[in-house]
Amino acid sequence: MKSILALALGLLVATTSLQASPASDAIRKNIVDYYSAAGADRGSPRMQAALDALSAQARDATAPGLLLANGSFSDINYKDVPDGGWSPWAHTQRLFTMAKAYRTPGQPFYGDPRLRAQIESALAFVPSYYGVTTLPNGNWWFWTLGVPLDLGPTLVLMQGDISDKVMNDCLTTLAWHIGGNAYSKGLVGPAPTGENLVWSSFTHLCLGALNDDAPMLGSVRDAMAAACATTAGDGIQADNSFHQHGAQLYTGGYGGSFANDVSKYALLTRGTDFALPPASLDSFTNYIAGGVAWSLEGNYFDVSAIGREVARPTTTGYNGIAALLQSSQFASARRDDIRAASAQMLRSWQWSLPPELAALAAIEERATLTSAWPAGHQHYWLSDYTVHRRPGWLASVKMFSSRTKSGENTNGENARGSRQSDGRFYLVMDGSEYFGREIWPAYDWARLPGITVEQKADTASNVYGIGTRSFAGGASDGRNGVSAMDLQPVGSSLTAKKSWFFFDDTIVFLTNSITLPASNRVETIVQQWPLANAASPLIRGANWLWCENIGYYVYPQTASLNVTREVHTGTWQSLGASDDATPKSATFLTMWLDHGTAPVNADAAYAVVPNTTASAMSSYLAPAIVANNGTASAVRSGAALGIVFWSAGSVAGYQSTLPCIVYAVSNGGTIDIYAADPANGNGTYQLTVPSLVAGVRATTLTLPRNGGKTVHVTIAPPALKRRAAR
């Protein structure tokens, strides 16, 4: 301990003796200006709401009897051992709020001498429970990242208004816990990667700025630049998804926090020597526009992109709106896309924003902007995740393979989510259908929409892992596409081949080869919809159903369709991490195809039609199923044909020498082929495409496997080629 303490003290002594640098001055000013919303119009409705909320939070933090004479808070157990939470974390969280209120004009705590004294007293108490004589125990995150993320900016905000002793004592303890540069693993914890590296960078940004430590600030810039580069590890993937804790989709969880923090860093350092390099900014804004914005609808992230955070009652898209607003403020090639998504999210955002974001929202709302979410289709081949968007709704499919992890339940969260990557289908119209009414505690986690599932006692559990099968992928033309997965769930001997065909406003679901060598029942879940109105009418036709603007078409098949309307009840506590045992109830419309017990080579086929009417469903013409067997699944809709080759073979005149996924669109005499290798391999394979012109031979293409990414080829008959050449 003595050697580490000497290092921390040495860092402080060495850096405080340096002359202040213009870059440090600029960063400190940017931090103060950012958190105090300097220059913002205090009269805008959003800013008024933000200032009122900030003053209310500061008032709560300084309520009579809460802050004691020694600087501690009466309701905090300072001997608590951190696990999924930590009571003493509230000390620095309140301090940060109090410091923001002290520095922010337009509300009653601005410059208040009594509040200043309270802040100094509470800061003076920090080393008594978080000092250089405190041995960290329990969850490392709070010691190395959580507390420093609040303490650092609090000290910047209060610099010059608290005593040198209090400032130096807090700087010493901060340096003691976080280490000498952004790559430090701190006193405890692993070497930081992904969002953890960004959090570490922020703690060192404040420490480096306060100590005028250019080498430390340089390490922060370099770490942030590295974090913005695409990687095969934790962080931004080449397909603009985000991984954390291994190959695990977290675009809306850790990746949402990452997006918020990096965009904030870009604002705090712009115009200084420690700003993000242009290449890093380009990579990051591609992620915002091509990953974050695609995973948001209304005020919430797609549940499939937030990982274990589904167990948190307060989960919203806050990090999403923060990232969009902040990224809208600096120039980039994707700025128009980002600003359109930002403007769209502001239209539905129902909560107050902190002053720093309310100021940015006012800027965006004064601008003349097109407001729109992204529209089209994307498959994230490195995350086994597909998103299909149209104005007014979002649909997604979450899969997993031998390259990706099905999920996690770190800190006890996500205790019932083991089926979330088994082909889970997520559909929302305004984004709040599942999040806005505390639906998740009442959900039947053994019947997630889209999955084919073995029903047994531990179907919905906390068992996760890397998949055992390599086949999971998708091909897309940017508007529509096909996705597929060779399913073997973690913790089950069930196997099945599942595919999804996205044609504009229709999604066709095919499953075949459903086999279970056990005596349990197997179901394919068509829907589990949280009804906005428990009495909403369910209208049924001969082969279709409609309820709350969603249509369902069931193809002729052996499996029987079951439909229930039931009230389910559960608790946040049952999902893990939360102590809330209050029962939550909701009414669900649930539909499933029953394959019976121990099925062998069973199949399922149905379509979902979002944003439609019962009248439209009564005359609905479903896309045609061309094949659905162990060799291929294929569906045709107008000029488009989707094919999943489960093995080398042929269907509808197409032939492949390897398993692959094909989305083909005919346009006059040409055919556009979009093909992908679901095993994400290297090398090549041959795909034979039939001609649309009589007398012209089929074309055999040699296609790169391309690591799972879609390859596009346009095939034109010789006459058209000659015409185009003239």
Domains in the chain: boundaries: 1-228, 240-373, 376-620, 632-725
Per residue in 623-682, pLDDT tens?
999 999 999 999 999 999 999 999 999 999 999 999 999 999 998 889 999 999 999 999
CATH number for the domain whose boundaries are 376-620: 2.70.98.10
Q: What are the residues facing 234 on neighbouring strands? A: none
pLDDT at 5: 32
Distance separating alpha carbons of residues 140 and 82, to the nearest angstrom: 8
pLDDT at 720: 42
* pLDDT of 719 above 60: no
CATH number for the domain whose boundaries are 240-373: 1.50.10.100
pLDDT at 694: 66
pTM of the model: 0.93
- Average pLDDT, stretch 112-140? 95
Per residue in 672-711, pLDDT tens?
999 999 999 999 999 999 987 766 789 999 999 999 999 9
Per residue in 269-289, pLDDT tens?
999 999 999 999 999 999 999
pLDDT at 367: 84
CB distance 447 to 437 below 8 Å: no
* pLDDT of 9 above 70: no
Q: What is the rounded average pLDDT for all residues in the chain?
A: 94
Closest to 713 (Cα-Cα) out of 680, 683, 689: 689
Per residue in 424-460, pLDDT tens?
999 999 999 999 889 999 999 999 999 999 999 999 9
Per residue in 401-415, pLDDT tens?
999 999 999 989 999
* pLDDT of 334 above 90: yes
- Average pLDDT, stretch 203-218? 96
* pLDDT of 105 above 70: yes
pLDDT at 659: 98
pLDDT at 692: 76
Do the domains 240-373 and 1-228 match in fold?
A: yes
**Per DSSP, which regions of 205-262 are E strands?**
235-236, 242-243
pLDDT at 135: 84
pLDDT at 134: 86
The CATH fold of domain 1-228: Glycosyltransferase (1.50.10)
Degrees, nearest 5: CA angle 495-499-505: 150
Q: Whats the size of the chain, residue-wise?
A: 726
Percentage of the chain beyond pLDDT 90 is 90
pLDDT at 576: 94
Radius of gyration of the chain (CA): 28
pLDDT at 20: 53
* pLDDT of 138 above 90: yes
CA 137 → CA 130, 204, 578, distances in Å?
11, 22, 21
Distance separating alpha carbons of residues 465 and 489, to the nearest angstrom: 9
* pLDDT of 609 above 90: yes
- Average pLDDT, stretch 325-352? 96
Give the lowest-confidence range in 115-129, 172-186, 709-723: 709-723
pLDDT at 84: 83
- Average pLDDT, stretch 564-572? 97
DSSP track, 478-531: SS-EEEEEEE--TT---EEEEEEEEETTEEEEEEEEEE-SSSSEEEEEEEEEE-
Q: What's the CATH class of domain 632-725?
A: mainly beta
pLDDT at 314: 84
Closest to 527 (Cα-Cα) out of 425, 631, 406, 668: 425
248-286 core/surface letters (b: 16 or more CB in 10 A; e: else):
bbbbbbbbbbbbbbbbbbbbbbbebebbbeeebbebbbb
Per residue in 67-92, pLDDT tens?
999 999 999 999 999 988 899 999 99
For residue 13, name the pLDDT band (cuts at 50, 70, 90). very low
pLDDT at 23: 78
pLDDT at 721: 47
* pLDDT of 596 above 50: yes
Distance separating alpha carbons of residues 592 and 597, to the nearest angstrom: 14
